[in-house]
A and B are shown apart, each in its own frame.
Chain A
Amino acid sequence: MKLIGIILFLFSSWMVASDHSHDHMDHSDMMHHSHEGHAHEELVDGEKLEVNPERFDKFVATLSNAQVAVVSVKGMVCDFCARGIEKTFQKDKNVKKIDVDLSQGKVLVAFDKGFDINFEDIKKKILANGQNATGMQVVSI
């Protein structure tokens, strides 16, 4: 019983610390950017962009002069398994921001507007976490 209590205490402490840190980051980001509507439903060429609209809007709210690669990924079935994707992309200095949309099986990766996004490089990074990237759409912000 004591062991379970310790684990629960540590886990809840960690969650509180994590939420506080996350909230702080979001708040400070929102201070410097406006949040306008974005093309999360249909691209210029008429192709549908299948993302969670709320998640996408939140992701791009803090971005400007950027482009977002919306990457379709197979095998991304749990949060804990997808952590490596975030960690791998965060090592790339060209990546401005990254998020994972578990419900749609998408990874959102923001780059500077002028950056030449290479799908093969993205596929390698996704595969480094053991999942498969099957497609990519790029949205200018």
Chain B
Amino acid sequence: MGIYRYILFFYIIIASTNIEARPISYSGGSTLMMFSDNMKDSIYYHFSPTYKYSIGIESVKDNYLNNDYSLLRATYLINRKNTQYSQRNLYINAGLSINDTSNNFYGIHGDWETRRWFVGFGFKKLNNKIIDYDQKHLQLGVAPYLGEYGDLHTWLMIKTKKNSLNDDWYTYPVLKFFKGNVLVEFGYNDETEWDAHFMYRF
């Protein structure tokens, strides 16, 4: 039992980047995400009544504003195109602080992927009492090999992101791995340092 407590402890303290990835589970499914970058550390749990939307709660440690808060979040799939070899998605999302409704965000993000290629983008507007700002990102990826179901899957990605607070684009490599119900992703940039993302799908 000790080892599980140890693992759970570190699962909780690590946090996670692209928390918008896989924002909706299968109908009746739920997902735990942990995310960390230079702006925030967060833990996000969401439940999907259907594959069209998810609702969840996110606990955020805002590293920029030195503030802790919790958000009620919702994500809605507004468009999906399935083909034999690809899937395209477009989502909108929003969040509202439980303690302070002036602290909120809304955004849009999308992706297109095949088993080999991935393209994703996102835009998010964040509001609070101190300062409003927005974030945007683009992400391109390639799978160096095509794993079968149950294998370890690897993605080599490049991500570029901009934050209106500093008004610069930061571009850096990202590695993504997933196997079974677990996904991890991390990237590094000299300026923004580590991005890390962990996800478990129940």
A: which residues have CB within 8 A of B?
1, 3-4, 6-8, 10-11, 13-15, 18, 22, 52, 55, 74-85, 87-88, 99-103, 105, 127-132
Contacts and interface: CB of A to CB of B under 8 A. Distances in A.
Task: Describe A's contact surface by its main secondary structure.
Answer: helix
A52 to B, nearest CB: 8
B82 A131 contact: yes
B10 interface: yes
Contact of B22 (A55, A80, A131): A80
Contacts of B123: none
Interface stretch (B57-65, B142-150, B166-174): B142-150
Interface size class of B (residues with CB under 8 A): 35 or more
B33 to A, nearest CB: 12
Given A3-B196, A83-B180, A84-B26, A10 B7 contact: yes
A82 B179 CA distance: 11
B180 A6 contact: no
Given A11-B182, A18-B179, A79-B179, 18 more contacts: A3-B196, A4-B186, A4-B196, A8-B184, A10-B198, A14-B182, A77-B85, A78-B153, A79-B178, A80-B181, A81-B22, A84-B26, A84-B27, A102-B115, A102-B147, A129-B51, A130-B26, A131-B87
Interface in B8-42: 10-11, 14, 22, 24-29, 36
30 contacts: A1-B194, A3-B196, A4-B196, A6-B10, A10-B11, A10-B14, A11-B182, A11-B184, A15-B152, A75-B80, A75-B87, A76-B87, A77-B85, A77-B87, A77-B113, A77-B114, A77-B115, A79-B180, A80-B178, A82-B149, A83-B180, A84-B26, A87-B26, A87-B29, A88-B27, A100-B149, A102-B148, A103-B115, A128-B50, A129-B26
